[in-house]
Structure 1
């Protein structure tokens, strides 16, 4: 659990910042593709990903520079933007340079706590990790597979048996953004996030 009361934006990558099988129309609205070098050393070794390549390979990443502008603006206003992705710490090997953002902390990782030892899907692990670790904070969770985990579950309806009733759990202030993996995070969805965090920040100067 944390006593930080800043709004937290928990960001997935695949299907959010990196579209999967991207719709061709994206490239008419500012999206770009760049090849990065992936090596066995910088490939994330996590339970939800396939193993590393046997040698260095060129890996195409489609991204939208507008996401970097948006993330930097949120950070400047006092919002904590953090990774919640199976890329885990490896995200900082590629995405800060692509988007022009600082390295981001992990909202949760498999190095923190015991949830990774349980039999869970990636999305279950993400939900339980941030809802326990960041109890009480305003939370925005942006993912392409998080639809079952709505705001009611963040508010306490999803309290698992291993979290006792007198332990902090969940938050009454949550926003769940579910992206379409072909299109990634849209301008309309970013506007919804902006409107949500505005409730917890000083007025814009």
Structure 2
């Protein structure tokens, strides 16, 4: 039986793009740890991610420094349920060190996935992150989808993930 794949989702630059606002995005005020943030979100992103997860049998997971605040402020406007969160405490180092020039989130992701196949949507992933993940013996198959921070998540990004996940064996889910 194949392991359930994971869909790891960043917020800033992926669901909250940095470029000029288009008509399909709405601005929201979010307050976390006493700080006001303005985020621009597109409800279509939530629909795409939920459909991708449903069609591929994958589990959606937050992979963002928003951590649990993503469930409070980002998920609801996108129509997403409460999702598991990869902990990324700034004061605690990940279980394994860094070494390839990868971004700080990558060791946390590697520790969390624990050999399960995954797709990671992030605007900051690079060849160094891929190299780090490939050298970890406890990391299984993966696809890094580098999202344009200016545009945010696109249909092409989601389709690329869907094609990769579609080529994998699916975990059997039975209902008698």
Where on the TM-score scale, by shorter chain, does this alignment land: which range?
0.7 to 0.9
The one of 143, 150, 172 aligned to 1:175: 143
Cα separation, partners in 2 of 1:116 and 1:134, compared to 1, 3 Å: closer
How many correspondences in the alignment? 166
Q: Which blocks of at least 5 consecutive residues in structure 1 are unaligned? A: 44-51, 160-167
Which 4+ residue blocks in structure 1 deviate beyond 2 angstroms? Answer: 34-37, 74-78, 107-111, 116-120, 148-156, 199-203
Q: Which has the larger radius of gyration?
A: 1
Whether the 8 Å contact between 1:12 and 1:143 is mirrored in structure 2 is yes
Residue 151 of structure 1 and its aligned partner are, at CA, apart by 4.1
Is residue 88 of structure 2 the alignment partner of residue 109 of structure 1? yes
Residue 194 of structure 1 and its aligned partner are, at CA, apart by 0.6
The TM-score with structure 1 as length reference comes to 0.69
Q: Distance in 1 between matches of 2:163 and 2:54?
A: 16
The one of 68, 73, 94 aligned to 2:46: 68
Q: Which blocks of at least 5 consecutive residues in structure 2 are unaligned? A: none
Q: Tell me the SS of whatever aligns to 1:81.
A: strand
Give the alignment of 1:177-196 within 5 angstroms. Answer: 177-196=145-164
The TM-score with structure 2 as length reference comes to 0.79
RMSD: 2.9
User: 2:20 maps to what in 1?
Assistant: 23
Whether the 8 Å contact between 2:4 and 2:171 is mirrored in structure 1 is no
Residue 110 of structure 1 and its aligned partner are, at CA, apart by 2.5
Q: Distance in 1 between matches of 2:171 and 2:97?
A: 40
Whether the 8 Å contact between 1:10 and 1:82 is mirrored in structure 2 is yes
